[in-house]
Amino acid sequence: MSLVENKKARLNYEILEEYEAGMELLGPEVKSLRAGQGKLEGSHAIIRGGEAYLVGVHIPPYQPANTPQGYDADRTRKLLLTKKELMALSQYEGQKGLTIVPLKVYNKGRNLKLLLGVARGKKKYDKRATLKERDTKREMDRTLKRE
């Protein structure tokens, strides 16, 4: 079950490969994500010094009145990946035109996981084709449902 999803990622990007990562979060951030708050749009992951970080994610405080002093909702968060995954992602990050985008945050047991996608940006005509395919599929499903 997805808690927070980057809905525009699959429209704006062509996803080449997916990776599952853990995140270093504070207690109120976990509660906030489990409540479905948070925005992944416009964020990306970077690899620096053999570690992965998530930049640009907004996780609002769970209870604004009880938020710790100096809480930053847009802070950079560390991602937990294996060395093998980090090596593969750093090679992708070095290639021109590729970026690492978060696709969704979900529960796996008691833990929160982040699905990362290695993505290449789509051109405007590719986006139009994707929308057209989705509309034709929806129309076919409707006609089959009626019969």
110 in any annotated domain: yes
141 in any annotated domain: no
Q: Is the pLDDT of residue 12 over 90?
A: no
| CATH number for the domain that contains residue 103 | 2.40.280.10
pLDDT mean over 27-47 = 89
Chain position carrying tokens 């021109």: 96
Percent of the chain exceeding pLDDT 70 equals 100
| Average of per-residue pLDDT values in the chain | 88
Q: Is the pLDDT of residue 1 over 90?
A: no
Give me the pLDDT at residue 78, please. Answer: 94
96 in any annotated domain: yes
Q: Is the pLDDT of residue 130 over 90?
A: no
Q: Is the pLDDT of residue 63 over 90?
A: no
133 in any annotated domain: no
Phi/psi at 35 (5° precision): -85, 0
Give me the pLDDT at residue 138, please. Answer: 93
76 in any annotated domain: yes
How does DSSP assign 2-52, residue by residue?
EEEE-TTHHHHEEEEEEEEEEE---HHHHHHHHTT--B-TT-EEEEETTEE
Angle at 17 between CA 83 and CA 107, to 5 degrees: 75
State the total domains in the chain: 1
Structural domain boundaries enclosing 113: 2-122
Percent of the chain exceeding pLDDT 90 equals 41
What torsion, rounded to 10 degrees, do the Cα atoms 33, 39, 40, 42 define? -160
pLDDT mean over 78-106 = 90
44 in any annotated domain: yes
Rounded to 5, what percent of the chain is helix, strand, coil? 35, 35, 30
pLDDT mean over 11-38 = 89
75 in any annotated domain: yes
89 in any annotated domain: yes
Angstrom distance (rounded) from CA 137 to CA 33: 32
Give me the pLDDT at residue 50, please. Answer: 87
